Chains A and B, each alone.
Chain A
Amino acid sequence: MGNSKDRIKFNVGGRIFETTSTTLANAGHDSFFGALFDDDWNLSPPKEDLFIDRNPDCFAVLLDLLRTGDLNVPANIPERLLHREASFYGLLHHVRTAKWGPFDGNRLRLSDSVKGIAPGDGTAVRAGPDGGCCVAHGSVVHVFDWMLEEHCPINLDYQRVNDVGWIDSDNIVLSACEKLGRGDGGMGLFSSSTGDLRYKFQVCHENQVKSYTAGALSFNQDYKIFSSCKGRSNEYGVGVWDQITGKQTDFFYESPGWSLGDADKLQWLNGMNCLLVATLFPRKDNCYISLLDFRDKNMVWSWSDIGSPMAIDEKRVRDAIAMEDSNSICVVNEFEDLGFIDLRMYGGSVRWSSRSRLMKSKMPDEPCYPKLALHEGQLFSSMNDSISVFCGPDWVLTSRLRRSYGGSICDFSIGGDRLFALHSEENVFDVWETPPSPII
């Protein structure tokens, strides 16, 4: 401190900046400044100011970022320019970290809406691990990085996309319908940055490779990929692949009178070491929810509404999510009523929450089925054009995210400390972020 040798003068694009090497050390070793101060480059003592042929306005912003950890971008600097400059200095990661804070469903702000050019309804949106997302429309998936820059769209033989998911920030798995007789469709692994097809997953039945339609996807920590599969000759069930070798390692065949291959939703339960498979109305006339243990090929728990009397208000389960902490499965009906099924009892019934229809509003012209998500103890449920946030042991409604533009929300996803909501009418998705922590 107070050491004048610590002081550094830069001439950036004609403007003089003076700072300290301590401030610049915040940039880390893997940055322009880290390399600049490598002992091998004999800089010390700098005789004159160091010239850098870059934009001085952006440098000012980035220097402040290194000084304070806060990102403040003046209106006159386009974001893309700032990102370009940050990329030159190796400070993109710093910008990303400073841009939004740790996720909290009750402090979300709408930060952006991205409009696309895809025709038709959106199928799914999936948040990536570092703030990007991908959006499935018909047979094409659009990929966006955290700067919301669109990369090459991905597709699997232009077959209808059923589900999509991020393995890591650079790899996306896409599941699609098969095409009769051509072996197209199925499941593929793509690079998120280049859109290249890296690997196509195969399914074997009795040692024969078969074409198949891949449905819902799920991943687990053991580098396994799960997907509901439908084969041509009634080979229905859930397939398992290894993320590293890409080889199929297992297949759980659907038993008669039950549904696995048509599943709408797969969810890996880490604590219970099994997979939740849910096939729901209206894909099938009845709802089937089961937990599969692949170690001994056993269906350890199941629930279905077959045979249960159809109430007048038609409480049909439209989405389900397992909550391991409370040993229950949360379900939702088309009126956004939440219901709970106890996982510790075999074949228990749904205990619908009485919270029902407090805010019964007029149904939009094109209603969307509710979707559920769970994130760090907060439960999210989408309904029409808004997303409700529930907290606490009794799941009290604490926040509602709404933006009256783009019609109903057909899907949403949380990841990389962001929430993405895809609207059905217009091809548009919203990005919700938690602002950085307050100054004090």
Chain B
Amino acid sequence: MSNQKKRNFQIEAFKHRVVVDPKYADKTWQILERAIHQIYNQDASGLSFEELYRNAYNMVLHKFGEKLYTGFIATMTGHLKEKARLIEAAQGGAFLEELNKKWNEHNKALEMIRDILMYMDRTYIESTKKPHVHPMGLSLWRDNVVHSPRIHTRLLNTLLDLVYKERTGEVIDRGLVRNVTKMFMDLGESVYQDDFEKPFLEASSEFYKVESQEFIESCDCGDYLKKAEKRLTEEIDRVGHYLDAKSEDKITSVVEREMIANHMQRLVHMENSGLVNMLLNDKYEDLGRMYSLFRRVTNGLATVRDVMTSHLREMGKQLVTDPEKSKDPVEFVQRLLDERDKYDKIISTAFGNDKTFQNASNSSFEYFINLNTRSPEFISLFVDDKLRKGLKGIADVDVEVILDKVMMLFRYLQEKDVFEKYYKQHLAKRLLSGKTVSDDAEKSLIVKLKTECGYQFTSKLEGMFTDMKTSEDTMRGFYGSHPELSEGPTLTVQILTTGSWPTQPAVPCNLPAEVSVLCEKFRSYYLGTHTGRRLSWQTNMGTADIKAVFGKGQKHELNVSTFQMCVLMLFNNSDRLSYKEIEQATEIPAPELRRCLQSLACVKGKNVIKKEPMSKDIGEDDLFVVNDKFTSKFYKVKIGTVVAQKETEPEKQETRQRVEEDRKPQIEAAIVRIMKSRKILDHNNIIAEVTKQLQPRFLANPTEIKKRIESLIERDFLERDNTDRKLYRYLA
């Protein structure tokens, strides 16, 4: 452990070298060489591992490591050259098998040689930084066998040929191919890549280039995609069976490039079978295939999406701008809903609910729904229709589904305030005429609107429902305090809060005496219980059930409007009345009266009075008599008023104007809100912020915003900056 001992060691080591028998190294090496031969000839059973290991150890110990190392390389090289000759001699199909067999033999021999030479591996090779026995054995195999000129290309061609055969439908020995490719992998990643993978990918690329050309000329888009998909799974399968897992991405990208990316445009636009055709004919399976294949290549999905979007927009544009199709609002909306359902289904079943596709579809719908300015009205009408009658006999769950779908369309609307206007009108009509089918459905829709647009959007709508409820209570109270009224005509009053309901000018008329007495009683009852209120009669919105007896004594109950009731009651006192007389007696405004008379006299099957002369239009000089010959198989006869369900042109203009008028304060409020917090802001930013703030309700027009700003400046809410005219300043 000390100085003394260390010096001894050095002398010892020195001694070793001299005592060695000069032929010792050669003798020992001969033993080992013979053993290597025996191992290669598979005749190793008689060998003693301990002896061989000890001999190899002694050679290294006695500084013959170099001799041992070069000797092992030379001997192994000799054997491998011999093996290469045998492999070369193999004919045809036996070639690969022979190669595989020799490779297995070599591996086993190499393992045993490494065992014997382990001490050299650990010490001599370690300190001289030479390749270790095992990697050396692999390199020797690579250089002497795999890279031997008469094996190298033949091996590659054999493998590529087998792959080609398999691609064209023949059955090959996959296990054998796997063993050979495994050999390449064992020899190192670069050997696998250079000697096999690269040429394999090139050959594959060539193969699929030709095949895809062939397919595209002869197949339609759907079939082509089926074939491409099949090829893709085949290649992935192939990798799993006999290639390195790292090759999967490479070979699939070859197939993707050759079969899809290079033909993308042509496939999508293929006549009579391309994407548009698939969309039109709901070919979910083909669409799904296209999606899953195209998503593999760059810009693949973008291409599909673009074509889908432009098709959808074009189709939608036709749908909403075709005057023929917008005749019936209910059908119009139903068509939109159908279209949406269709694309929802396509995206969910074929496009894997891809968000980008959903967005594309949404933006397309938003685009074309707003192309038609009447969309808000139509959607409201659709709801009206459904809530009036359409939902009868439908389960609650389904009602929800329909309403949810309508809400989807509603979301697309830019002018939500217009929708609100119409919805209010339609709801008012439904409520007043008692036509709502389901209170739950009504309320559910309001809740949906509320969650979508906020409290203020629906507060008036909710007010309408409250009014209906209080009216009921008030009526009960009224009849409770007037028990004498249980005989005679019944009056049902609905008290509508001003502001909650769509404003319509109150059209006065002279009510028949029986009714006006009742009205007066109610007025005094109501004002007696609620002080400080004003009550005015909206006779234009009422209805009446009156009983009538006709010529042959047949009795009917007529369901009419208040105006019609006023007219009919006149006939209690006279048989024949002229237009002028009726007008005088009732004081119904001319257009209303005309409509009212028209519906009483000119509608076939409901003409309870006759007109002279008989014509469609009402003239100032016409005469009216009770139609004694009126018959109907029903006891109750409903006489409608002649009103267009859709708005007439002037009405539309009016609504429009009202909407515009309502928007003004909203725009101003938004401007003030923004300026209050920002104090100073330039023109463009105000426009942007106002537009953003109002977006949930409507799309504000920049010119209108500008006008509102001017108006606010006039009223000293804002001022222009003195130096920069584009800047506005908030005046507190």
Closest to A150 in B: B6
Interface of chain A residues 12 through 52 with chain B (CB within 8 A): 30-32, 35-36, 38, 40-43, 50-52
Interface of chain B residues 70 through 126 with chain A (CB within 8 A): 108, 111-112, 114-116, 118-119, 122-123
B45 close to A42 (CB less than 8 A):
yes
Q: Does B2 reach chain A (CB closer than 8 Å)?
A: yes
> A43 vs B57: C-alpha distance in the bound complex, in angstroms?
21
Rounded to whole Å, the gap between the CB of B601 and the closest CB of chain A is: 98
B6 close to A36 (CB less than 8 A):
no
For chain B, which range describes its interface: under 10, 10 to 19, 20 to 34, or 35 or more residues? 20 to 34
When distances are taken between beta carbons in the complex, the residues of chain A under 8 Å from B1 are: 79, 112, 148
When distances are taken between beta carbons in the complex, the residues of chain A under 8 Å from B122 are: 30, 90
> A40 vs B52: C-alpha distance in the bound complex, in angstroms?
14
Rounded to whole Å, the gap between the CB of A201 and the closest CB of chain B is: 19
Q: Given A41-B112, A80-B9, A193-B127, A35–B53 Cβ distance below 8 Å?
A: yes
> A193 vs B125: C-alpha distance in the bound complex, in angstroms?
12
Contact mask for chain A residues 382-410; partner B; CB cutoff 8 A; 1 contact, 0 none? 00000000000000000000000000000
> A38 vs B49: C-alpha distance in the bound complex, in angstroms?
10
> A115 vs B7: C-alpha distance in the bound complex, in angstroms?
12
Closest to B1 in A: A112
Q: Of B2, B57, B115, which contacts A41 at CB under 8 A?
A: B115
Interface of chain A residues 104 through 147 with chain B (CB within 8 A): 112, 115, 117
> A30 vs B6: C-alpha distance in the bound complex, in angstroms?
30
When distances are taken between beta carbons in the complex, the residues of chain A under 8 Å from B45 are: 42
A40 close to B118 (CB less than 8 A):
no
Contact mask for chain B residues 29-54; partner A; CB cutoff 8 A; 1 contact, 0 none? 00000000000000011010110011
Rounded to whole Å, the gap between the CB of B586 and the closest CB of chain A is: 96
> A117 vs B10: C-alpha distance in the bound complex, in angstroms?
14
Q: Does B531 reach chain A (CB closer than 8 Å)?
A: no
Q: Does A327 reach chain B (CB closer than 8 Å)?
A: no
Q: Does B3 reach chain A (CB closer than 8 Å)?
A: yes
Contact mask for chain B residues 12-40; partner A; CB cutoff 8 A; 1 contact, 0 none? 00000000000000000000000000000
B108 close to A40 (CB less than 8 A):
yes
> A35 vs B6: C-alpha distance in the bound complex, in angstroms?
33
Q: Does A286 reach chain B (CB closer than 8 Å)?
A: no
> A90 vs B9: C-alpha distance in the bound complex, in angstroms?
21
When distances are taken between beta carbons in the complex, the residues of chain B under 8 Å from A193 are: 127
Q: Does A296 reach chain B (CB closer than 8 Å)?
A: no
> A43 vs B9: C-alpha distance in the bound complex, in angstroms?
37
When distances are taken between beta carbons in the complex, the residues of chain A under 8 Å from B118 are: 30-32, 35, 90
Rounded to whole Å, the gap between the CB of A192 and the closest CB of chain B is: 10
When distances are taken between beta carbons in the complex, the residues of chain B under 8 Å from A51 are: 50
> A170 vs B119: C-alpha distance in the bound complex, in angstroms?
18
When distances are taken between beta carbons in the complex, the residues of chain A under 8 Å from B9 are: 80, 149
When distances are taken between beta carbons in the complex, the residues of chain B under 8 Å from A43 are: 49
A40 close to B111 (CB less than 8 A):
yes
Q: Does A223 reach chain B (CB closer than 8 Å)?
A: no
> A38 vs B127: C-alpha distance in the bound complex, in angstroms?
26
> A30 vs B3: C-alpha distance in the bound complex, in angstroms?
34
Interface of chain A residues 83 through 118 with chain B (CB within 8 A): 87-88, 90, 112, 115, 117
Q: Does A349 reach chain B (CB closer than 8 Å)?
A: no
> A36 vs B1: C-alpha distance in the bound complex, in angstroms?
34
Rounded to whole Å, the gap between the CB of B59 and the closest CB of chain A is: 13
When distances are taken between beta carbons in the complex, the residues of chain A under 8 Å from B57 are: 88
Q: Does A304 reach chain B (CB closer than 8 Å)?
A: no
> A31 vs B57: C-alpha distance in the bound complex, in angstroms?
12
When distances are taken between beta carbons in the complex, the residues of chain B under 8 Å from A38 are: 111-112, 115
Closest to B10 in A: A150
Closest to A10 in B: B50
When distances are taken between beta carbons in the complex, the residues of chain A under 8 Å from B116 are: 35
Rounded to whole Å, the gap between the CB of B126 and the closest CB of chain A is: 8
When distances are taken between beta carbons in the complex, the residues of chain B under 8 Å from A115 are: 2-3
Closest to A53 in B: B54
Which of A30, A40, A52 has the most CB atoms of chain B within a 10 A radius of its CB? Answer: A40
> A224 vs B373: C-alpha distance in the bound complex, in angstroms?
72
When distances are taken between beta carbons in the complex, the residues of chain A under 8 Å from B2 are: 115
Closest to B12 in A: A80
A50 close to B111 (CB less than 8 A):
no
Interface of chain A residues 330 through 379 with chain B (CB within 8 A): none
> A403 vs B57: C-alpha distance in the bound complex, in angstroms?
41
> A149 vs B112: C-alpha distance in the bound complex, in angstroms?
32
Q: Does A326 reach chain B (CB closer than 8 Å)?
A: no
Interface of chain A residues 51 through 89 with chain B (CB within 8 A): 51-53, 79-80, 87-88
Q: Of B3, B50, B112, B127, which contacts A40 at CB under 8 A?
A: B112
> A292 vs B655: C-alpha distance in the bound complex, in angstroms?
77
Q: Does A249 reach chain B (CB closer than 8 Å)?
A: no
> A115 vs B111: C-alpha distance in the bound complex, in angstroms?
44
When distances are taken between beta carbons in the complex, the residues of chain B under 8 Å from A41 are: 44, 47, 49, 112, 115
> A150 vs B49: C-alpha distance in the bound complex, in angstroms?
33
B50 close to A50 (CB less than 8 A):
yes
When distances are taken between beta carbons in the complex, the residues of chain B under 8 Å from A149 are: 6, 9
Q: Given A30-B118, A42-B45, A194-B127, A36–B108 Cβ distance below 8 Å?
A: no
A40 close to B119 (CB less than 8 A):
no
A36 close to B123 (CB less than 8 A):
no
When distances are taken between beta carbons in the complex, the residues of chain A under 8 Å from B119 are: 87-88, 90
Closest to B46 in A: A42
Closest to B4 in A: A115
> A148 vs B9: C-alpha distance in the bound complex, in angstroms?
13
Q: Given A40-B44, A41-B115, A115-B3, A87–B53 Cβ distance below 8 Å?
A: no
Contact mask for chain B residues 502-513; partner A; CB cutoff 8 A; 1 contact, 0 none? 000000000000
> A396 vs B126: C-alpha distance in the bound complex, in angstroms?
44
> A79 vs B108: C-alpha distance in the bound complex, in angstroms?
37
Q: Does A248 reach chain B (CB closer than 8 Å)?
A: no
> A11 vs B110: C-alpha distance in the bound complex, in angstroms?
28
When distances are taken between beta carbons in the complex, the residues of chain B under 8 Å from A150 are: 6
When distances are taken between beta carbons in the complex, the residues of chain B under 8 Å from A302 are: none
Rounded to whole Å, the gap between the CB of A288 and the closest CB of chain B is: 41
Given contacts A40-B115, A41-B44, A42-B45, list 20 more A-B pairs with CB under 8 A.
A30-B122, A31-B118, A32-B118, A35-B115, A35-B116, A35-B118, A36-B50, A36-B115, A38-B111, A38-B112, A40-B112, A41-B115, A52-B50, A52-B54, A53-B50, A87-B119, A90-B118, A149-B9, A150-B6, A194-B127
Return 19 A-B CB contacts under 8 Å, by A number: A30-B118, A31-B118, A32-B53, A32-B118, A35-B116, A36-B53, A38-B112, A40-B108, A40-B111, A40-B112, A51-B50, A52-B54, A80-B5, A80-B9, A90-B118, A90-B119, A115-B2, A149-B6, A191-B127
Q: Which residues of A contact B (CB under 8 A)?
A: 30-32, 35-36, 38, 40-43, 50-53, 79-80, 87-88, 90, 112, 115, 117, 148-150, 170, 191, 193-194
The 7 closest A-B pairs by CB, nearest first: A35-B115, A193-B127, A40-B112, A41-B49, A115-B3, A35-B118, A38-B115
